[in-house]
Each structure stands twice: as C-alpha cells, then as structure tokens.
Amino acid sequence: MSSDLAIKINAVSKAYEIYGKPIDRLKQTIWRGRKQFYQEFKALDNISFDVHVGQTVGIVGSNGAGKSTLLQMICGTLTPTSGEIQVKGRIAALLELGAGFNPDFTGRENVFMSATILGLEQHEIESRFEKIADFADIGEFIEQPVKTYSSGMYVRLAFSVIAHVDADILVIDEALSVGDAVFTQKCMRFIRTFQEHGTLLFVSHDMGSVQNLCQSAVWLSDGYIKQIGTAKEVTQSYLQYSLQKVYGDDQALDSISAGDQQREYEPQPEQKLTENSYGAMMSTQGNLTRARGWKTGAGEIVSVKLMNLTSGSNDIFEGGERARMVIGAVAHQDLVSPILGFVVKDRLAQDLFGENTLSYSAKTPTPVRAGQKFKAEFEFHLPMLPNGQYVVMASLADGDLINNIQHHYLHDAVIINVSSSKVRWGLVGVPFERISIEVDDGE
C-alpha cells in the first residue's frame, strides 16, 4: 500500500446466507455445498476506494445501505467475503450503540478492556484512566455496570476511550447523535484537533455535518457505491435523492446542473478601519444560471436579490445595514399555498440565518394560479460576517409545515463575498457600541 494511504479498500464484498427455515442450515451442512438451501444477500458488492493519510471522509447513505457493515470490516470486526482491506496505523471506532462494551462489566473494567483491545499496555491505561474518566464526566457511574447506563452515558465513556488511545484513524458512526449538547461540543473540539494529524471516517445522516467536517464523501446505496466526490457534491446529490424518496412517484425532482464554473473569491485590498469599527466590504453576485439543485416543474424561482436599504448602493454592504431579500418566482401550475424562503450558509455549509414565508402563509394563504408571478420580501439587519465567501440557498415550496413539496431548490442562488472584515470571533459579528475596562477602588 502506498505510504500516503491510510485505508485501501479493493473490490470488497460481503455476502450473507439467508435461510428460509432452520432445518435448511442442517441440509446445507449435510450436502456440503453440492446443493444450495439459502438465498444470498450481498450487504456490500465490489466496493473500492482509498482514504489518504490525514483525510476526513464522510460515508452517507440510507439505512441498510451497507455503511455499518463497511465500517466493521475496516475495523476488523467483520471479514469480507471477497476483496481486500488494508489499514495502516492504529484504528479506534465509535460504532453503533451497544458495540464494544460488556454490559455486565463496570465502566472502569470496560475502559481497561477496550483500551487493551485498541493496543494500550496496562501501565498506559492506568496512567490515562483519570483523564478518560474526567472526559466522560459520568461521576460515580464509572464504578457501576454499563447495563445501568443511559445511552448518553454509554457514548460519553465510549468516546472518551477512543479519544485517549493515540489512534491514527478514527471511525465514528452516528453515535454522537445521542449525546447531550455540552458533551457533543467537547467531542467536536477533540475531532477538530484530531483532524490536524489523523485520518477520520465519519458516518452521519446530517448533511451539514458531513460538509462541515469532510473534504470528500462516499455515498453507499444498496451495497454499491453510488457516488464518490467532494463532500459538497455528494451531500447535495444525496439530499435530492432523499427528498425524492419521500415524494415517491407524486413528484419528480429534476436535477439542475451547474453551467459555467463558479468564480472563486478574490480578496480585496485591506481597508483602513477606525478603532472598534466592524466595517467590511461585502459584494453580492447573482448565481441563478450556475446554481445546482432540483425542480419539479410546478414553479420556478426567477430572481434572488439582496438590496441595501440603508445606503444608495444595492450591491455593496458593510454589515449592520437594513437589508431586503427579494425572491421572485413564477407558477407553472396552480399553487395552493406557496412558500418562499432562503438560508445564508458559510463555506462549510453551516446555516447562519434565514427565513421563509410559512408564518405569513399559514395565517394568510396566498394561492397562485398557473402563469402568475409572485415574490416574497424579507427585511432584516445584515449581520457582520468574517472574511470569506457565503452562499444563499433559495427554495420554493407549496403546502404547510407538516406537508409540503419543494418545487424548486437552489443551493447557490446568490454568492456573497466578504473582504476586509474585522470580525474575528464566531460565525457572525455583533457591533458592540462600547468596550472598556475599569478598576473598582471601592472597599
């Protein structure tokens, strides 16, 4: 295996024998393979891809696609029926809840057992135990049998172990979804640090998290690789596929391919800003003709504009201004209760802010006939944004909060370029009006 590869998966398949009746197993043994009494189910079929050292790869797919089977084979707890998997370095995994711990052992005993399996010596585990217990933060439950743990406590201890075994490769399979918010943040901080030197395989149904954490992604479907590419490309395709499964044959979501290559962000010259100034140079760029997404044909977004209500320029913003987002659309079929909305996302696909007309249309339904044009307006104060490139997702739906159909969905309807921003902390900035430090000389 090449020195720059952490994992190499070559033509891997995993098949299971499915017997209709228990006696068929005995018949199969007696006939010694000369006659088949089972049906073969392939959980994975001829899977091949490489993971480079230091890379973070997302694995996406619906339940039953083969994700967990693949991860278990990478970790060595399952053996491929055919093909080969090569792994370089120590691998630690947080797989489905319930795997890896003995329910009758205490938390302490499971820590020693799991860390030993992962390659640590007894003295190494003893020297790290206090750190593992502190990270898990489950108190006196560390001395209780694991079968008495809640799902959140279980994940706390399991993640704490894999975070302290000096793994080269980390595998996480959706298990963090059961943790509480505080512990999840702690885990994400560890993962961010781990990504600086380690290799990560990340399985999640949260496409935002996959785009946020991963450089590339693999989409599994019914045991096959359906798509390999950048995290953005794969998650956008999977999002459309998932929605199509929800709609079934009622609506067909036709893919919207990008036209010209999207222009890259070019930094602007640094501006001289006064003390406590949060000024920035924000410029907007329409991208409707190049935006990816899907549509059913029932309606179409024809324009998305961000307007400056504070100054005379509609295209240049500094942050903090009153702004108006205007989404224009046309109905190709009668729409009973159309919903227009948008979300501003950063380059990691994190949702920063957004809104839709659902709250308005729920009280005041506004039906639109085929051929009619309509629009939605949203007025707000534009937040301060750090330097970078942002995109506006825009969508047109019809229905209500519970039942609705997305008729037109555009990932990158507008591009916002921000340069010379003084915002340093967080995803967005707040214009503080006063900053001071004082010494109280009183008693």
Burial of 385 (0-12, 13-18, 19+ CB in 10 A): buried
Q: Give the pair of three-digit tokens for residue 306.
A: 């961000």
Q: Average pLDDT for residues 158-164, to the nearest whole number?
A: 90
Q: Average pLDDT for residues 264-286, to the nearest whole number?
A: 52
| Domain count for the chain | 2
Residues 326 and 398 in one domain: yes
pLDDT digits (tens, 9 = 90+) for 88-119: 999 998 876 555 788 899 999 999 998 998 88
Q: Has residue 390 been placed in a domain? A: yes
Residues 33 and 142 in one domain: yes
Whole-model pTM over 0.85: no
pLDDT digits (tens, 9 = 90+) for 116-143: 988 889 999 999 999 999 998 899 999 9
Residues 279 and 403 in one domain: yes
Minimal CA–CA distance to 163: which of 128, 215, 209, 211?
128
Residues 84 and 228 in one domain: yes
Residues 129 and 188 in one domain: yes
Minimal CA–CA distance to 12: which of 86, 88, 93?
86
Q: Has residue 308 been placed in a domain? A: yes
CB of 176 closer than 8 Å to CB of 203: no
Residue 321: predicted pLDDT: 81
Q: What range defines the domain where residue 224 resides? A: 5-237
Residue 270: predicted pLDDT: 38
